[in-house]
Structure 1
């Protein structure tokens, strides 16, 4: 690997653990977006460390990711690793440079601006800094907090890697304060799905990009009236500041009064569209709406697996606002078997959840039971929308398999709600693509759709569309 030493350290920095099946878990995490791998091993013999290190180095070479050895200069030299990371008491960067050569990467652990400046002056290429948050991996005397990152970044010019207790939900504060990379261990390697856990954290770095920030592919039907479907999705994605691409699953003749015709897109042509987009564009999140046929659902599931697209926001569109059925029973079964288990976030409304689960949903307690059942079907996260229930507030129930959260908003008494589900799912997908963790993406998506409904007007003779523009431009 040809390394540009001053810029190679960025994004998700993974440190290995001592658990079993390390190679398999690391490979999955590399697929998820790991940008640097550090091999740390305090227990195995030198021969075993060399053997495992060689296998890890080969993995990193496949993914064009720097391979860094922790503390052990001799092992780094024997493996011809891309670099070494040294603790404050574990080595001299000057000697490391002499032993490894001018083109290797040398990192130093630091705990304050003075240590950081000293390490940079001694020739370090990047700095580890922490502990940022409390961590179970080692005892630390001082917890730095995310605000300390800015002081370090103002003192040095080389990349800084934050370490210590970092996960999906607390990493954004570090990125917003200018950190170059975040180092994690258990947040990825102890996860049930290391690839997805890595993807969640790697995607957070999109928040530091210029707009259009992140890319979303919408797979849905075309709405000739422009309020929902592909047209509504692309409006939301673009107005919120991301790049939108599309694959059309069906053509509809519809307006504010209803659907007067549906023309299915052949599954082979949907496959062609998906291949054209996913083989070329850097799609971060896939949002799915109306698929119409079981063949389309099956093709989409196959392409998602092929391209390893795990950030899937699945909006189970089954019935149009005017009452037209958009998903037959066979397609629902394929949806349940093939797509729900692939979904990162499932966003059904109450009638859709009832059809999927067979449960009657008339209360918050019933919503709890339904979200549990949808999670058991394989959805990683479920957002059950409560707009069809009565009350002055609209309450959407979120469940991630262990925790519930309720997102509420005042109910706006209006018939002009065409495109509500499409806009909410697209907004959440967009905020995910822009580097928001899932809870924040849902919260911001909820704010967006609340405004879109509040500013909706009688555009047409029937159920007018939500106001995408006003929702995105407060």
Structure 2
């Protein structure tokens, strides 16, 4: 997992990445620990306007300990005396909450000084006063405080043209609107409730931190595919790595099974021993920065259980699970016992589950004949533990193919015209890998699904009749078209 941290190279310390500010709610230390454990938080700012100094000192010591444990910078809001007592990494001052020169004298030259600003003039003044970074906002409306002027990403662009020091954007930032802020030049994004009020602070922090990959050089983000090998090259590991590479991410693999197959079907399956599957996964995750794990064919119950163990032990949160059960020709690719392991152990670990209609029926026991049935299945799969569910509608007969995304609160529909062709081998693998790639590159989930849907639709459109059966989709032409 990519960690976005303060850069200590050289004398200058620069803020970047996810900047988490504390709230006043209960169980703060527990929630902060979970958020920091994600590896995505770069800076923690302790903000407390309620407790006494003694209480703030005690709580601050606990938070400082967590920051030391997880190698996160610790900043105290407004209180220079408290920052000194806690040996914090710096202090953040509001416009009316202290003199930056006095703070520098009290804390020393190696500590960071941040200043809240609400205009270009204030930001330039803070820079001249010796600030190491400025907070700038509010970017969007927020519930935490009333703001007279909303700056928006457009003002941030103008600010970055004039300023030499890092900018922390603050105010109403969420997973789904943060991309415009990062694209506008924010070095860091400050959030409170978007992480600390989330059901899983660690997952929320991971989602937000991953958005900064959109600023990285290509290949952007790493994807590990755990799937079977397709000797015909149209699906499985081969389709996954083609997709990941062509879309601009780095692909690694762990093979669960070898198959002898072509466009006409599967003639033999040789599952990989579970111990060797574990060796492959460990070899990748202990060395290569992987942002998203995409899971396809698992074949055996032993391999499914082994994968669940390795994902848990490595703390992987971004898992895109395509529950492959049968090949295009109908050959079973998953043992019956493996389905139970998938339901009980892997679905609760996945960030996104991407079943087609037959797979959703097998997992839920429901019969699906229309989009209402797809929504019902999505709800059932969410209750089984999947954080998000994308039920694919390609097996229905309408002229428009509708996929339905459920996030636990609402539905989003993604539609595309049906392409009349028999050359659809590898569509499920390709879609899931494309979603994983776009997530790894810094797209929030709805955008990742939309772009992946466009990609796989183009890949079907350009499919060539290779072989004598169900030909593979055309990854190369789809990627070229998508780029243009």
Distance (whole Å) between structure 1 residues aligned to residue 42 and residue 320 of structure 2: 25
Q: How many residues align?
A: 474
Q: By how many angstroms is 1:162 displaced?
A: 0.4
Matching of residues 57-136 of structure 1 within 5 Å: 57-136=64-143
Farther off after superposition, 85-94 or 7-16: 7-16
**Which residue pairs with 2:35 in the alignment?**
29
**Are residue 14 (structure 1) and residue 20 (structure 2) matched?**
yes
Q: Is 1:157 equivalent to 2:167 in the alignment?
A: no
Kindly report which structure 2 residues correspond to 1:248-397, keeping only aligned pairs within 5 A, or say none: 248-397=255-404
**Superposition deviation, residue 2 in structure 1:** 9.6
1:191 aligns with 2:212: no
Q: Indicate the residue corresponding to 2:416 in structure 1.
A: 409
Say which SS state the counterpart of residue 261 (structure 2) adopts.
strand
Cα contact 1:5–1:125 (8 A) shared by 2: no
Please tell me whether residue 142 in structure 1 is matched to residue 149 in structure 2: yes
Q: What residue is the counterpart of 2:3 in the other structure?
A: none
For residue 463 of structure 2, what is the aligned residue in structure 1? 456
- Any gaps of 5 or more consecutive residues in structure 2? 1-5
Give how far 1:6 is off. 4.0
Structure 1 residues not aligned, in runs of 5+: none
Query: Taking structure 2 as the reference length, what is the TM-score of the superposition?
Result: 0.97
Is the Cα contact below 8 Å between 2:74 and 2:90 reproduced in 1? Answer: yes
Q: Is the 8 A contact 1:228 1:418 kept in 2?
A: yes
1:19 deviates by 1.3
- How much has 1:340 moved relative to structure 2? 0.4
Runs (4+) of structure 1 moved beyond 2 Å? 1-8
**Deviation for aligned residue 1:218:** 0.2
**Would the aligned equivalents of 2:361 and 2:367 in 1 still touch at CA under 8 Å?**
yes
CA offsets per residue over residues 140-179 of structure 1, 9 Å max, x none?
A: 1001111111111111110000000000000000111111
**Correspondence for 2:443:** 436
TM-score by length of 1: 0.99
Q: Distance in 1 between matches of 2:37 and 2:443?
A: 20
Which residue among 410, 426, 431 is the counterpart of 1:424?
431
Alpha-carbon separation, structure 2, partners of 1:31 and 1:220: 28
**Contact in 1 for aligned 2:14/2:132 (Cα 8 Å):** no
**Residue 214 of structure 1: which of 201, 221, 241 is its match?**
221
Per-residue deviation, 1:5 = 6.7
Local SS of the residue matching 2:153: coil
Within 2, Cα distance between the matches of 1:197 and 1:161? 18
